[in-house]
Chain A
Amino acid sequence: MKGTNLGEFEELVLLTIAALLNDAYSVAICDELEKTSGRAVKLGVVHSVLNRLEEKGLVKSKLGDATATRGGKRKRFYSVTSAGKASLLKAKEVRDQLWNRIPEFALKAI
């Protein structure tokens, strides 16, 4: 077990799910990620990440209603669990701590 540590892409996906609120299913997540990050995101990668997140207990999912657009197949909607929320917060905290230690000039010099 990798524990609750998040990878970079995992974190992005988890954030997107949180951001999409009630409309977080695989294709929408994919599209949203593509829009915000500006890089091409493959469905297969998103899928496996979703699968992994669910295994870690960071997200949970349920099947929605069938629609005609998907050939009669139902969507699986994801939502962030409290554990997911905690790990997101933790990740943010780590970053914030580091950010706070960087003096302003040092950044300018780069």
Chain B
Amino acid sequence: MKKSNIPVHPPKWAERFLSWYCKPELLEDLQGDLNEYFERNLKTKGARSARWIYIIDVIKFLRLYTLRKPEFINALIHWIMLGSYIKTSSRSILRNKLFSSINIAGLAISMSVGLLLIGLLSDLFSYDAFHQNSDRIYRVTSHYSYLDQVNSATNASSSIRLGKAIEESIPGVDKVAVLRRGLYGDVKVPDAKAVTMEGLWANEASLRVFTFPLLHGNSTTALKEPFSVLLTEKSAKKLFGDNDATGKTVLIKDKEHTVTGVLKDVPLFSHIRFDMLVSLSTREITQKDNKHELEWDNMWNAYTYLLVPENTDLALLQSNLNELALREDKTVENTHIKLGLQPLKSIALGEELNNEIGPVMNSSVVWMIGILCIVVLLSACFNYTNLSIARSMKRAREIGVRKVSGALRSHVAFQFITEAIIISLAALAIAFMLFLLLRPYFISVYPGMQDMVSLELTPQMMVCFVALAAFVGLAAGVFPALFFSRINAIQVLKSTPALKLFGNLSMRRMLIVMQYTISIAFIAATTISYRQYEHMLSFDLGFDTENILNISLQENKPDQLIKALNEMPEVKQISKSGLVTSVGYYWSTTVKYTNPADSADIFYNQVDENYLPLHRHKFVAGKNFTPKLNTEGEKQVIVNEKFLKRFNITNNDPLKAIDEYIFIEGERTRIVGVLKDFHYGRVESKIMEVMFTYRPEQAEMLNVKIQSNDIAATMNKIQMEWKKLDDVHPLKAHFYEESIERTYDEYKAKIKIVGVLAFLAIFIASIGLLGMVVFTTETRLKELSIRKVMGASDGSLVVLLGKNFILLLSIAAVIALPATYFYYEKYVLNQITFHAPINISDLVIGVMVVMALALIMIGIQAFKAARSNPVDVLKNE
């Protein structure tokens, strides 16, 4: 140490290692010996080898007799002292009411969000667990590609043919369940009123794969014969009352089916839902003439589930599926269908798939809520950490006394962790009330949610709640615990000025900056999303949607209703269409132009001659449909500009394209008009090729243009007319704008969630800041009074107190705004083709609001301090 100019020390970590493992009574002596050797070696062998020898010696001294015995006594002391900790903690909680309430409020609010998330996750994870073999069931997903058009989305559905093929050619699969959707319609008992029901066609094995227990009937044969139907308890009750339904006959879409049994109602936590199951063999008879039914590429409406034995080699099964797909691809042209396996339990909360059979929750949504929730929780933890450390000098004496009376670092740390956990458990009690209060709102934030989750309390959930509280307490308490346990007893008790303890200022500043960065980012995200949402609702779709009421005909003949509606003075115009576009529904069909090898799936709508004028579609060339031509057997179609481009019809010249012929499902059809491009799909997607075919006789919707000052009265009248037409089904009528709004409900839900979280984050950050400001003004009160005596003005004192905080907030804004901006530009908005540009002023407004809140708080506190009479403050020392 003395030889060289720079003192050389033994390696720090080796020293620390030695003092960690060595018995305290041997330690000093050993350390001394090693130091002596080290210095000797330093002189004779040089620094490097001296350090090296030191390390080796430290390791060599690791022997049984030098090892520290585990300190059971310490753990025991923790338990004995627990009572004392709880007592002192609750005293200090009660003594500092403001700080405790800030902490408890912040933690409670953020924790209530956490509780909601736990509830949501617990519901989603318990999905499909009621199936006895739930961990052995896999769903086969399929991914469709035609020629080189790669479709990005994977489908939950597969073909009916697939199930048969797997049964025949893949060994090691116990059972294959095939379900087919599309069974929707009236179910009737002869001579009674019809009930609308939704169901699935299911093959025999379905009841073996899934656990849908039968109350009556034989599960092995129930779905064997064609025209067999299994009703759920609820639907059986609707149709037959309390009578036994088994063996009776019901009419499903006017076809006789025999009830072979009654199923227990489907649990809420099932992603497969139905009112009835009809044997799949029924379709072999009803769809006998449909050549598409069993085709390999008809993979949009059926679902295949496999029950595999335990410990199945999934890789082998997958490769078998791949082989099967390659074999079957040959039966259709230019198509490749890639198959995949999805475990049953990851369906309800999983990746987003097309053509889902029932309600599912996209895992990314849950991730999003989860991350935001953690961020808000962290923010509340920061408050706790910040305030406890800031007020450290008030507690420092207590720690000093504890340490003098023999408390070890670990004891002090344990005490503060205990205190944090007590506070967080108190917060849990409030959070739980908030949870009960918020639950109904949370469930209704998104219409799909109501269907999926109940957030009913379960024992596991309660355990998770307490675990969350304990964890939050730990997270909040760990920094204060480390900080306090490091306090030097002698220093504190000698009453050195508190300022020395006041270190860690940079960490606390950092925490404030982080809190505000989060808050500002949240509020910016909310405004950006809200702008997008507004933009989508008011988006110019390329046609008129105002005051148009879309009435679903529900398989009734339209003529009577049209006649009645036409008699109403409020009704200006009526048209018929197949579906309502721009709200997320798509119909497509195969179209070819001159090249027979080039076919494409084109979105379409089938309408009458009033549809285009009523919706004010703009013609680029040609004219509207002529009803007369249709009766003469000529097919007419009106396409959009994109359509011409797709098939390169007459070099995209709309004028020349008129009277060209295309083939829709093989039928020769004349182009009579070309429309300006408009949005058929949702606003997020690109403008696509679209065509209108003239088929007024296949209308499913009436589009009624209404001009009325009293919408409610008009709706009533329409309701009456509907009753006359159909007294079984309730009227399904929605204004176009309403439907569009509903289409973007998920955005609304997201905005609501992010908005609420933004509000919470700001609230938590604000009360945290309030605590800090109160504390700072308290500790600097004397300084302020002296300044005032020396002639400082109130204003200058406010500035003095506030400027540091304002600086911190500005740093937060400078970090948060660009980060949010780029995040949205790069990752969110480029997925939405027609998005509104980000408005800088929106972002600034958000910051201003947060800043203004903070300023008001700082201002009030600082002003109060500045206005206090210096005499009162200074007279007692």
A contact set with B: CB distance below 8 Å: 26-27, 43-44, 47-48, 51, 63, 69-71, 73-76
CB neighbours of A74 from chain B (8 A): 28-29, 32
Q: B18-39 toward A: CB 8 Å interface, digit per residue (1/0)?
A: 0000000010111111011101
CB neighbours of B30 from chain A (8 A): 47
B827 at the A/B interface (Cβ < 8 Å)?
no
From residue B428, how far is it (CB to closest CB) to chain A in Å?
Answer: 49
Specify the chain A residue showing the minimal Cβ separation from B10.
Answer: A71
From residue A99, how far is it (CB to closest CB) to chain B in Å?
Answer: 35
CB neighbours of A63 from chain B (8 A): 28-29
A27-B37 CB under 8 A given contacts A44-B60, A48-B65, A70-B32: yes
Given contact pairs A27-B37, A73-B35, A74-B32, enumerate 4 new A-B contacts (beta carbons under 8 Å): A26-B29, A27-B33, A70-B36, A74-B28
Contact A47 B61 (CB under 8 A): yes
B63 at the A/B interface (Cβ < 8 Å)?
yes
From residue A53, how far is it (CB to closest CB) to chain B in Å?
Answer: 12
Contact A69 B36 (CB under 8 A): yes
CB neighbours of A43 from chain B (8 A): 33, 37, 57
Pick from A51, A69, A75: contact of B39, CB below 8 A: A69
Specify the chain A residue showing the minimal Cβ separation from B30.
Answer: A47
When chains A and B are docked, how far (Å) is the Cα of A56 from the Cα of B61? 21
22 contacts between A and B (CB under 8 A): A26-B33, A27-B36, A27-B37, A44-B60, A44-B61, A44-B63, A51-B26, A63-B28, A63-B29, A69-B36, A70-B31, A70-B32, A70-B33, A70-B36, A71-B1, A71-B31, A71-B32, A73-B32, A74-B28, A74-B32, A76-B28, A76-B29
CB neighbours of A48 from chain B (8 A): 63, 65
Specify the chain A residue showing the minimal Cβ separation from B63.
Answer: A48
Specify the chain B residue showing the minimal Cβ separation from A46.
Answer: B33
Q: B39-82 toward A: CB 8 Å interface, digit per residue (1/0)?
A: 10000000000000000010011010100000000000000000
Chain B contact patch, size range: 10 to 19
A48, A70, A74, A75 pick with most chain B CB within 10 angstroms: A70
Specify the chain A residue showing the minimal Cβ separation from B15.
Answer: A71
When chains A and B are docked, how far (Å) is the Cα of A44 from the Cα of B29? 12
From residue B21, how far is it (CB to closest CB) to chain A in Å?
Answer: 14
| Contacts of B641-698 to chain A: CB distance below 8 A | none
CB neighbours of A76 from chain B (8 A): 28-29
CB neighbours of A27 from chain B (8 A): 33, 36-37
When chains A and B are docked, how far (Å) is the Cα of A27 from the Cα of B35? 11
When chains A and B are docked, how far (Å) is the Cα of A43 from the Cα of B33? 8
From residue B709, how far is it (CB to closest CB) to chain A in Å?
Answer: 96
From residue B93, how far is it (CB to closest CB) to chain A in Å?
Answer: 43
B26, B36, B60 pick with most chain A CB within 10 angstroms: B36
CB neighbours of B65 from chain A (8 A): 48, 51
From residue B42, how far is it (CB to closest CB) to chain A in Å?
Answer: 12
Pick from A47, A51, A71: contact of B35, CB below 8 A: A71
Specify the chain B residue showing the minimal Cβ separation from A51.
Answer: B65
**A contact patch SS:** helix
When chains A and B are docked, how far (Å) is the Cα of A46 from the Cα of B61? 11
Contact B57 A70 (CB under 8 A): no
CB neighbours of A69 from chain B (8 A): 35-36, 39
When chains A and B are docked, how far (Å) is the Cα of A89 from the Cα of B159? 100
Pick from A44, A47, A73: contact of B31, CB below 8 A: A73
From residue A23, how far is it (CB to closest CB) to chain B in Å?
Answer: 14
CB neighbours of A26 from chain B (8 A): 29, 33
Specify the chain A residue showing the minimal Cβ separation from B32.
Answer: A73
From residue B14, how far is it (CB to closest CB) to chain A in Å?
Answer: 13
From residue A45, how far is it (CB to closest CB) to chain B in Å?
Answer: 10
CB neighbours of A47 from chain B (8 A): 30, 33, 61
When chains A and B are docked, how far (Å) is the Cα of A27 from the Cα of B31? 12
When chains A and B are docked, how far (Å) is the Cα of A75 from the Cα of B30? 9
CB neighbours of B60 from chain A (8 A): 44
Contact B63 A73 (CB under 8 A): no
CB neighbours of A44 from chain B (8 A): 57, 60-61, 63
Specify the chain A residue showing the minimal Cβ separation from B26.
Answer: A51
From residue B22, how far is it (CB to closest CB) to chain A in Å?
Answer: 11
From residue A59, how far is it (CB to closest CB) to chain B in Å?
Answer: 13
When chains A and B are docked, how far (Å) is the Cα of A70 from the Cα of B27? 13
When chains A and B are docked, how far (Å) is the Cα of A73 from the Cα of B32? 5
When chains A and B are docked, how far (Å) is the Cα of A47 from the Cα of B726? 102
Specify the chain B residue showing the minimal Cβ separation from A75.
Answer: B32
From residue B69, how far is it (CB to closest CB) to chain A in Å?
Answer: 15
When chains A and B are docked, how far (Å) is the Cα of A49 from the Cα of B65? 11
From residue A17, how far is it (CB to closest CB) to chain B in Å?
Answer: 15
CB neighbours of B1 from chain A (8 A): 71
Pick from B29, B57, B63: contact of A75, CB below 8 A: B29
Contact B28 A73 (CB under 8 A): yes
From residue B719, how far is it (CB to closest CB) to chain A in Å?
Answer: 95
When chains A and B are docked, how far (Å) is the Cα of A70 from the Cα of B1? 10
CB neighbours of B32 from chain A (8 A): 70-71, 73-75
CB neighbours of B37 from chain A (8 A): 27, 43
When chains A and B are docked, how far (Å) is the Cα of A70 from the Cα of B32? 5
From residue B816, how far is it (CB to closest CB) to chain A in Å?
Answer: 50
From residue A41, how far is it (CB to closest CB) to chain B in Å?
Answer: 12
From residue B695, how far is it (CB to closest CB) to chain A in Å?
Answer: 97
Specify the chain B residue showing the minimal Cβ separation from A52.
Answer: B65
From residue A68, how far is it (CB to closest CB) to chain B in Å?
Answer: 9
When chains A and B are docked, how far (Å) is the Cα of A69 from the Cα of B39? 8
CB neighbours of B31 from chain A (8 A): 70-71, 73
Contact B29 A73 (CB under 8 A): yes
CB neighbours of B28 from chain A (8 A): 63, 73-74, 76
When chains A and B are docked, how far (Å) is the Cα of A47 from the Cα of B39? 19
CB neighbours of B57 from chain A (8 A): 43-44
From residue A13, how far is it (CB to closest CB) to chain B in Å?
Answer: 15
When chains A and B are docked, how far (Å) is the Cα of A26 from the Cα of B29? 9
When chains A and B are docked, how far (Å) is the Cα of A69 from the Cα of B28? 14
Q: B567-582 toward A: CB 8 Å interface, digit per residue (1/0)?
A: 0000000000000000
From residue B580, how far is it (CB to closest CB) to chain A in Å?
Answer: 86
From residue A104, how far is it (CB to closest CB) to chain B in Å?
Answer: 45
Specify the chain B residue showing the minimal Cβ separation from A76.
Answer: B29
CB neighbours of A51 from chain B (8 A): 26, 65
From residue B852, how far is it (CB to closest CB) to chain A in Å?
Answer: 58
Specify the chain B residue showing the minimal Cβ separation from A61.
Answer: B29
Specify the chain A residue showing the minimal Cβ separation from B35.
Answer: A71
From residue A75, how far is it (CB to closest CB) to chain B in Å?
Answer: 6
In the A-B complex, the 7 residue pairs with the smallest Cβ-Cβ separation, listed nearest first, are A73-B32, A70-B32, A71-B35, A76-B29, A70-B35, A73-B31, A44-B60
From residue B778, how far is it (CB to closest CB) to chain A in Å?
Answer: 42
When chains A and B are docked, how far (Å) is the Cα of A48 from the Cα of B63? 9
Specify the chain A residue showing the minimal Cβ separation from B38.
Answer: A71
From residue B58, how far is it (CB to closest CB) to chain A in Å?
Answer: 10
Specify the chain B residue showing the minimal Cβ separation from A70.
Answer: B32
When chains A and B are docked, how far (Å) is the Cα of A51 from the Cα of B22? 14
When chains A and B are docked, how far (Å) is the Cα of A33 from the Cα of B764? 71
From residue A63, how far is it (CB to closest CB) to chain B in Å?
Answer: 7
B26, B28, B30, B32 pick with most chain A CB within 10 angstroms: B32
